[in-house]
C-alpha cells in the first residue's frame, strides 16, 4: 500500500509568522500540513509513514531575493539544472533570478524561454526580475507592460543605474504598478577599481580602496527621489554602517523602502581578505568590522529587512587570477543556511526565528508575496534541517558546477534533509 500520509515526530517547528518555536508532531498529506499537535505516544498506523525527527528543525522554505542565472549564456559556470539543485540542497523553495543572462531578460518572451528550460517537476518556485533598461545598458527603459504581462516578479538591472533622471522616470512610470523595484546604490566612478572597503585593513593589505561614499552618495540621492515620488523601492546589497543610518532615518520618515544585505556581508569583513582568497572578491566589497556589526544590528532591528544570497558562479579559470583582477561574486545557495546558523544561532546571537525571518518571511515581504506558513490547512512549503549534521563542502557534495567559495573543502555543520513544496 502506498503511503499517503507522513508524520514527523518530535520535530522542532519554527514559524516566524506566528513567532512559534516548539517541539510538535506534524502530519502531512498530499502536499498540505494536516495537523500540528503536541508530541504523544501513538500506535503505528499502516497508512502513515512515521519519522523520528528528534533534534531536527521543520520550518518554512527559504526565499532568495536575487541570484544570478548563468543559463542562458554562461552554462560553463552554472546551468539551470545545477542552480536549482543548489537551491534545493540549501533549503530554498523560491529562487529569484536577476536578468543578466545572455540574452538579457528585457523582453517578455525571455521569461517564457527561461521557464521552458527549467527541469520538470521542480519542488521549487523559480521567478525572475525583469530588466529596467534595455540590455542592462542604463540608457533606455524597457517596455514594462510587456514584462509585467509575462510574469516578472519585479524590475532590477542587478547593476547600478548611473543616471538619476532615468531613476526618477522609472519611479514615475511604475508609481501606479504594484511591482517591486530593486536598485543597487553604487557609483562606479567613485568606486573605481576598489576591491576592499576603505580603512586600516585596505592599507595593511595594499589593495585598492572602495570608498563608503560610492554607496552612500547614490543611496542618499535615491532616497530623495523616493521621498518625492513615493514609489516603493528595495535597496539591494547594503554594505556599510553609514547606509544603515540613512535607511533608518528614511524609514523613520515613513519612506516606502525595504533593504537587504547579502549573507557574505553578514559573515565577513575586510579582515577576511587577509589571505587574498579571490572568493572574497565581492561587489560591493565586504565592509570593515564596524560595517559588519552595523549590518547585523540593522537586521536585528528591522532596518535592514532581509538577507539575500546573490549566488554568482564563476569557473576555476575565471577566478584563478590576482585578487584585484578577479570577477566579483561567490556561490552561496547551499552554504548560507548552515554557516549563518552556526555563526548567529549556535552562538545565541540570534534566535532561530530571527534567522528564519530574514531568510524566508522578510524576502517575501520585499517581493510583495505571501510567505510560506506553518499552519494546518496550508500548503506544505517547508524544509527539514539538521543543525548538527556535518558535511564537507567539495565537488562531491556541492550541486553547483562552480566552486568559488571561501568554504570550499571545509567541514560545515548543518544540512537540509528534505524539502516539501506544493508544486510536488
Catalytic residue set: 310
Q: Which of 420, 424, 368 is nearest to 129 (CA)?
A: 368
DSSP helix/strand/coil, 45:
coil
Element (H, E) at 166: helix 164-173
Element (H, E) at 64: strand 62-67
Cα–Cα distance measured from residue 318 to residue 76, given in angstroms and rounded to the nearest whole number:
11
Cα–Cα distance measured from residue 402 to residue 398, given in angstroms and rounded to the nearest whole number:
9
Q: Which residues contact 304 (CB under 8 A, 6 or more apart)?
A: 238, 244, 247, 259, 260, 261, 295, 298
Q: Max CA-CA distance within the chain?
A: 69
Phi, psi of 111 (to 5 degrees): -65, -40
Quick one: cell of 188?
562606479
Cα–Cα distance measured from residue 70 to residue 83, given in angstroms and rounded to the nearest whole number:
9
Q: Which residues contact 412 (CB under 8 A, 6 or more apart)?
A: 335, 338, 339, 342, 390, 391, 392, 393
Cα–Cα distance measured from residue 166 to residue 145, given in angstroms and rounded to the nearest whole number:
17
Cα–Cα distance measured from residue 287 to residue 266, given in angstroms and rounded to the nearest whole number:
9
8 A C-beta contact, residue 175 and residue 225:
no
Cα–Cα distance measured from residue 72 to residue 57, given in angstroms and rounded to the nearest whole number:
36
Give the DSSP letter of residue 105.
Answer: S
- How far is residue 6 from each of residues 1, 60, 307, measured CA to CA in Å? 14, 17, 32
The DSSP annotation for 236-296 comes to P----HHHHHHHHHHHHTT--EEEEEEHHHHH--GGGGGG--GGG--SSPP--HHHHHHHH
Query: Which three-class secondary structure string do you get for 123-162?
Result: CCEEEEEECCEHHHCCCCECCHHHHHHHCCCEECCCCCCC
Cα–Cα distance measured from residue 398 to residue 122, given in angstroms and rounded to the nearest whole number:
18
Amino acid at each position: 500500500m502506498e503511503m499517503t500520509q507522513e508524520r514527523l515526530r518530535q520535530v522542532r517547528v519554527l514559524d516566524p509568522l506566528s513567532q512559534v518555536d516548539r517541539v510538535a508532531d506534524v502530519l502531512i498529506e498530499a502536499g498540505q500540513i494536516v495537523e500540528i499537535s503536541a508530541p504523544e505516544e501513538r500506535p503505528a498506523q499502516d497508512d502513515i509513514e512515521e519519522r523520528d525527527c528528534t533534534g531536527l528543525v521543520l520550518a518554512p522554505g527559504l526565499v532568495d531575493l536575487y541570484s544570478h542565472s548563468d543559463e542562458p549564456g554562461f552554462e560553463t559556470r552554472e546551468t539551470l539544472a545545477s542552480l536549482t539543485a543548489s537551491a534545493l540542497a540549501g533549503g530554498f523553495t523560491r529562487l529569484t533570478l536577476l536578468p543578466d543572462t545572455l540574452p538579457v531578460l528585457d523582453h517578455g518572451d525571455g521569461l517564457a524561454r527561461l521557464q521552458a528550460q527549467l527541469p520538470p517537476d521542480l519542488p521549487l518556485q523559480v521567478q525572475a526580475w525583469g530588466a529596467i533598461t534595455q540590455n542592462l545598458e542604463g540608457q533606455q527603459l524597457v517596455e514594462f507592460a510587456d514584462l509585467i504581462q509575462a510574469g516578472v516578479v519585479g524590475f532590477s538591472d542587478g547593476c547600478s543605474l548611473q543616471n538619476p533622471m532615468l531613476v526618477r522616470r522609472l519611479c514615475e512610470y511604475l508609481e501606479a504598478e504594484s511591482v517591486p523595484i530593486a536598485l543597487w546604490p553604487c557609483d562606479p566612478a567613485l568606486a573605481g577599481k576598489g576591491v576592499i572597503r576603505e580603512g586600516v585593513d585596505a592599507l595593511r593589505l595594499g589593495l585598492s580602496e572602495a570608498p563608503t561614499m560610492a554607496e552612500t552618495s547614490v543611496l542618499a540621492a535615491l532616497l530623495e527621489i523616493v521621498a518625492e515620488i513615493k514609489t516603493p523601492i528595495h535597496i539591494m546589497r547594503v554594505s556599510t554602517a553609514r547606509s544603515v543610518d540613512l535607511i533608518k532615518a528614511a524609514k523613520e520618515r515613513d519612506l516606502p523602502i525595504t533593504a537587504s544585505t547579502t549573507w557574505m556581508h553578514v559573515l565577513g569583513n575586510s579582515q577576511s581578505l587577509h589571505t587574498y582568497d579571490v572568493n572574497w572578491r565581492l561587489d560591493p566589497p565586504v565592509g570593515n568590522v564596524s560595517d559588519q556589526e552595523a549590518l547585523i544590528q540593522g537586521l536585528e532591528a528591522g532596518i535592514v529587512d532581509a538577507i539575500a544570497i546573490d549566488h554568482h558562479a564563476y569557473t576555476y579559470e575565471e577566478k584563478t587570477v590576482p585578487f584585484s583582477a578577479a570577477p566579483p561574486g561567490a556561490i552561496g545557495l547551499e552554504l548560507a543556511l548552515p554557516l549563518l546558523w552556526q555563526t548567529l544561532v549556535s552562538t545565541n546571537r540570534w534566535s532561530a526565528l530571527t534567522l528564519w525571518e530574514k531568510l524566508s518571511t522578510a524576502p517575501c515581504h520585499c517581493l510583495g508575496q505571501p510567505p510560506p506558513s506553518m499552519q494546518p490547512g496550508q500548503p506544505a512549503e517547508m524544509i527539514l534541517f539538521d543543525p548538527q549534521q556535518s558535511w564537507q563542502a567539495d565537488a562531491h557534495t556541492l550541486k553547483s558546477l562552480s566552486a568559488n567559495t571561501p568554504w570550499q573543502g571545509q567541514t560545515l555543520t548543518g544540512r537540509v534533509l528534505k524539502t516539501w513544496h506544493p508544486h510536488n
